[in-house]
Structure 1
Amino acid sequence: MMSFTKVGIVGAGTMGSGIATNLAQQGVAVILVDTAQEGVDRGVAAVNKFFSRAAEKGKISDADVEKAMSLVEGTTDLAKCGECDLVIEAIFEEFSVKEELFKKLNDIMPDDAVIATNTSCLRVSDLQKTVKNPNNFLGLHYFNPAAINPIVEVVKGEETDDAVFARCLEFCKNTAKKPIACSDNFGFAINRFFVPYANEAVRMLDEGIASAKQLDRVAQECMEVAAGPMMVTNLVKSSVMYHAQTNLAPHGAFYSVAESLKDKGPKGEDYAIDDADEGNPENDAVVADRLRAAAFFPVLQALDENVATAGEIDMGAGLALRFGKAPCELMDSLGKEEVTRILTPIIDQYGHAMPSSIDKVGSLRG
């Protein structure tokens, strides 16, 4: 049984339409809202395209397509969200833009409705202050492509009611997702390490340590990722990675944005990935150490902060990001001494303290 009967999704872009697709596929009525009719039309068309392709491949019937699409209503009228018992915000990753939306929803939503943000890096507790009922506010961070990616970070803000949090965890499970229960901190559980890992790859490119091709190859070899950090940065878009890394800045010096990302990100420029890969075993080892350090350090910090469990972080790394060697499992296999060696350059260069969870390496996964 679904814990929400009608869900409003504000923002009909890639994420919003993907969430709408997932929910309609699971039999949940959706109101997809955008500011312009062309945005609404694009979003509804994206949902229809997903189901139509599934029908063409024989995965679902034409009747299934019709049934799913009957559950999706597109509109430019934000007031329609007042019909919903859950609204998910999926708009631009800028605090002031989200704040403006939530203030509008304050005049629209019933007092008992739940409001969620799909933010990937902003603190839920900060956004929570902009709504009239902060107890009914939390984070539901879906991963792209939201229609099929199984991971959702369910983020408990400082004022989120325990029952609301539990209700949303159950809702995610009921809509074919694998939720990660997260406490609130910039980057939550997954982007907390994934974005700095990609940022570190850009730093090495900037420093002339390795080519983009070599960086991607070494990442595939040492962490068995499906796609390397430079390719993923282009796929996700440098603008998104730039904003995500900028939002992680409160965690300290290591989280500063790589120089070329400061330039390319605001302009949305891709990185060139050609066939140049002049790596050698010695150089590859340097690249591997820095990529692993950039993932391990934030993960251990997140474990210190009780953001999520080691098992949940690894589940997210494997299912959302397709890491063949998830961070905690990999650290356990390497052992405390080797992980300490890998992390020490970051500790020394950026002036951070060694996370206390280093003492648990070898048994992070229990």
Structure 2
Amino acid sequence: MRQDRDTKEAGGVNQCAEERADLPGGIRYSLDAEGVVTLTIDQDGPVNTMNAGFRAAFAAAVDRLEAQRDSIRAVIVTSAKKTFFAGADLRELVAVSKADAEAFAAEVEQVKTCQRRLERLGRPVVAAVNGSALGGGLEIALACHHRVVLDQTDVRLGFPEVTLGLIPGAGGIVRTVRMMGVQAALPLITEGRRLRPAAALKAGWADELASDGGELLAKARAWALAHPDARQPWDAAPGAVGVKDLKPLDPASYGLLAAAPAALRKQTHGTLPAPEKALAAMVEGALVDFDTALQVEGRYFTELATGQIAKNLIGTFFFQLNEIKAGGSRPSGQEKHQTTKVGVLGAGMMGSGIAQVSAVAGIDVVLKDVDAQAAEKGRAAVAEQLDAQVARGRLTERQRDAALARIATTSRYADLEGCDLVIEAVFEQRAVKNEVNAAAEAAARPDAVIASNTSTLPITGLAEAVTDQGRFIGLHFFSPVAKMKLVEIIRGAKTSDATLARAYDYVQQIGKSPIVVNDSRGFYTSRTFGTYIGEGVRLLAEGVPAALIENVAKKAGMPVGPLAVHDEVTLTLSLKVRDQALADLAASPPTEQTAARIKQLEDDPAFRIIEELIREHGRPGKAGGAGFYDYPADGPKRLWPGLAQRYARPDGGGVGERDLRDRLLFIQSLETIRCLEENVLTSIRDANLGSVFGIGFPVWTGGTVQFVNAYGVEEFAARADYLADLYGERFRPPRLLREKAARGEAF
């Protein structure tokens, strides 16, 4: 059995293994009759990771190679897993504290030392990359003299560390910069790009491609035996400094040195340290010798790994996101469902976007509007978007044509026959939604799920328009649909588990991340997002300059200022939502809570300003050509000068920058905690990912709840009380926050 395994691993090349050994920690060592050693990484578990076991096995493998150097002609490094190597063990990494920095740095240094010994073995070392090599996996491959990569559609090479608040820490930056220069390496590392094999070949991370496993190992072996004197270019001139586009005291490098930091700061506003540390490691490492550059890289990596921001990002965007991908909020005991035909009611921006992502995912679509012309206009919008994706290389022409062919347009409800899912995306008016949903239920399959894309109207109320309320659910997409990763699934009072499971499966089928919330006005994301844009307008009403509001918001990490994003969703929508809420509250049983909510909505200074802008100045938002901003045809948008003339006070409203920043962030976290308290939200992962992916809460925080945890629950509650005393009861900590703070518990 073992001989069969060795033969299979070598693709029929390694016919006569002379020496074999399983090294503790997951590396198999095989020396054949021709003197070629194959190191096969095969740790326990589904993937290979750079944990303590691997570090020990790697060191043992290098020890053995050095001891047998005289009997070795070449070394091939490959993997027994579907992926080549998955990178760092994040469970180990997230537990590292600043107190552990010295010991942690020593562990990283151990890996780098083994890599240096491997690449200076004096024998050719080839990486046979049989699957994705990300992070530490690519670092292992770059420490080899040559890289042959399996050319399959699911294989990716890259350094995604910055997406988790880190940088490559085991030589990835140093080797990439010396291979391709700073300018070419910059977007690959600071943006965490993951390249397909052909793109990796063009960039320089790969040297050859192979069509299958046999060819992969054959090519690796052939190159190794043909290059007995292989060595790394950085070892050809020991002690050399500088790379091809960055050399000490070279004026030609000054443009890059000036532009790159400014471009990064424009992207991150200083809230995400990893891209800036990556740039520093690139530049500083290029201006010293190779081994010193490794030390520079290691120090920046240790600083980030022991910091809070990396822990925020790892917790949310790795562990919690993986929980969602694994179906963490999906009802158990329900069979997996594949949606085959979806009806979309309304061919406007949202409806055409939903049709697009469904068709690209291979689902047949019926796009319906009030008349055939409107439906065709929606399909034309999809065609335009798909053409843009082809131009950017994200789709092939064949994929575009196939997706468009899946979209049929109609003005007739009868054409919804056979749809197992119908998604309503019409105007945010209850009467209109009720009419189309009832008609769609009658026309679609008897077991079809009927979903509303409403962003605010309670699902339980909308469900009354259909005969089987168990099959009714909310599917709240975000604009632009093709770009936004999140779909908020809203469960009504009578929504069945089967319906929820089918909705969850559909969202994953179209490549989105689902969060699940219970019914309430505004649900979770719209409700929390409303506090952000509302607080921005309240600050304006208090006399704070509009430019300061917008800039502090972006400086805090929000992608768009509250006034700008309010223009995007339109000021008229805010008034419609407020008026609908007032009507619903007036029709509900009178209580003290209801009366207080009505008074709060009627007295809110934000709505006074919105009403003034719409009714007195004809400024309804971007769609109407003017709102908080002007939208000139010959230039970029700019804040309307009338805001300063009408609302700004000489003292700037008396709100300091820290208070301004905290008001914009705290108001969203406090609303999230209220949603948890009211059981609108039932999991922390849905809260965190929903806030970042759905409403743009700053990435560096890890989400609205993680922001509280990282701040310190007791400290957050005290700060909220301070804000409430100065600016209003909306900042007063809810009961759940008080309880957590009293017990010293994190969420």
Q: Normalising by the residue count of structure 1, what TM-score does the alignment of the two structures yield?
A: 0.90
Match of 1:141, SS state, is strand
The yes-or-no answer on 1:237 pairing with 2:614 is no
Task: Measure how far apart 1:168 and its partner are.
Answer: 1.0
Distance in 1 (alpha carbons) for counterparts of 2:443 and 2:719: 52
Q: Tell me which amino acid in the other structure corresponds to 2:736.
A: S
2:454 partner SS: coil
State whether structure 2 residue 592 is matched by structure 1 residue 258: no
Per the alignment, residue 315 of structure 1 pairs with 689
Deviation at 1:205, TM superposition (A): 0.9
Name the residue aligned to 1:228: 561
Indicate conservation of the 8 Å contact 1:23/1:30, yes or no.
yes
Q: Which residue of 2 aligns with 1:45?
A: 380
- Verify the 8 A CA contact 2:628 2:640 in the aligned structure 1: no
After TM superposition, the structure 1 stretch with the greater mean CA deviation from structure 2, 83-92 or 268-277, is 268-277
Aligned residue identity for 1:36: D
| Alignment partner of 2:705 out of 310, 328, 332 | 328
Tell me: CA distance 1:282–1:158, structure 2 relative to 1, closer, same or farther (3 Å): closer
1:160 aligns with 2:495: yes
Distance change (3 Å), C-alpha of 1:282 and 1:354 = closer
**Does the alignment pair 1:271 with 2:644?**
no
Which of 444, 449, 456 in structure 2 is aligned with 1:109? 444
User: Aligned to 1:111, what secondary structure does the other structure show?
Assistant: coil
1:284 to 635, 652, 657: 657
Residue number in structure 1 paired with 2:553 = 219
8 Å contact kept, 1:155–1:183: yes
Call closer, same or farther: CA 1:351–1:7 in 2, change over 3 Å. closer
Q: State the distance in 2 between where 1:342 and 1:242 align.
A: 31
SS at match of 2:695: coil
Q: In the comparison of the two structures, how many residue pairs are matched?
A: 363
**SS of alignment partner, residue 483 of structure 2:** coil
CA displacement at 1:342 relative to structure 2: 4.2
Identity value in percent = 28
CA contact (8 A) 2:720 2:731 kept: no
SS in structure 1 at match of 2:465: coil
Task: Determine helix, strand or coil for the equivalent of 1:107.
Answer: helix
**Partners of 1:196 and 1:228 in 2: CA distance:** 13
Equivalent-residue separation in structure 1 for 2:486 and 2:614 (angstroms): 26
Q: For the Cα contact (< 8 Å) 1:199–1:245, is it kept in 2?
A: no
One of 504, 508, 513 as aligned partner of 1:173: 508
Aligned to 1:144: 479
Displacement of 1:34: 0.6
Q: Distance between the aligned counterparts of 1:265 and 1:23, measured in 2?
A: 36
The runs of 5 or more residues in structure 1 that have no matched partner are none
Aligned to 2:272: none
Q: For the structure 1 residues 22 and 305, does the alpha-carbon distance in structure 2 shift closer, same or farther, using more than 3 Å as the test?
A: same
Computing the radius of gyration from Cα coordinates, the structure with the larger value is: 2
Q: Which has the higher contact order (CA 8 A, sep 6+)?
A: 1
CA distance in 2, matches of 1:111, 1:355: 44
Alpha-carbon distance between aligned partners in 2 of 1:207 and 1:187, rounded to the nearest angstrom: 26
1:331 positional shift:
1.5
Q: Secondary structure in 2 aligned to 1:20?
A: helix
- CA offsets 1:275-314 (integer angstroms, 9 cap, x no match): 9799699622332232234212211110101222222121
Pairwise CA distance, 1:106 = 4.3
Letter matched to residue 305 of structure 1: E
Aligned pair in 2 of structure 1 residues 164, 67: CA closer, same or farther (>3 Å)?
A: same
Per the normalisation by structure 2, the TM-score is 0.46
Is 1:193 the counterpart of 2:570? The answer is no
Structure 1 residue 205 corresponds to structure 2 residue 205: no
- Counterparts of 1:61-80 in structure 2, within 5 Å, are 61-80=396-415
Deviations 1:29-66 (A, max 9, x none): 11111113332122101110111111122222111111
**Could you tell me whether the CA contact under 8 Å between 1:22 and 1:148 is conserved in 2?**
no
For 1:79 and 1:333, the matched residues in 2 are separated by: 54
**119-128 vs 281-290, greater mean Cα deviation:** 281-290
Q: Which amino acid aligns with 2:393?
A: G
Closer/same/farther in 2, CA of residues 215 and 81 from structure 1, 3 Å limit: same
Question: Contact 1:240/1:265 (CA < 8 Å) preserved in 2?
Answer: no
Alpha-carbon shift at residue 112 of structure 1 (Å): 1.2
How far 1:110 sits from its partner (Å)? 3.4
User: Are 1:357 and 2:743 an aligned pair?
Assistant: no
Contact 1:241 1:265 in 2 (8 A): no
Q: CA deviation at 1:91?
A: 0.4
> How far apart are the structure 2 equivalents of 1:75 and 1:328?
44
Structure 2 CA distance for partners of 1:246 and 1:193, relative to 1, 3 Å: farther
Matches within 5 A, 1:23-102: 23-102=358-437
Per-residue deviation at 1:2? 5.6
More moved, 120-129 vs 166-175? 166-175
- The 3 A distance-change label for structure 1 pair 213 and 363 is farther
- 3-state SS of paired residue (1:339): helix
Deviation sequence 1:294-353 (CA, Å, 0-9, x none) = 212211110101222222121122122332232212122222344334433558945897
1:4-15 equivalence runs, <5 A: 4-15=339-350
- Establish whether residue 127 from structure 1 lines up as the match of residue 462 from structure 2: yes
Equivalent pair of 2:552/2:657 in contact (CA under 8 Å): yes
* Amino acid aligned to 1:60: L
Residue 197 of structure 2 aligns with which residue? none
Corresponding residue SS for 1:306 = coil
Q: One-letter code of the match for 1:168? A: A
- How far off its partner does 1:122 sit? 0.7
* 3-state DSSP of counterpart to 2:383: helix
Q: CA deviation at 1:234?
A: 1.4
Return the offset for 1:150. 1.1
Asked if residue 295 in structure 1 is aligned to residue 668 in structure 2, the reply is yes
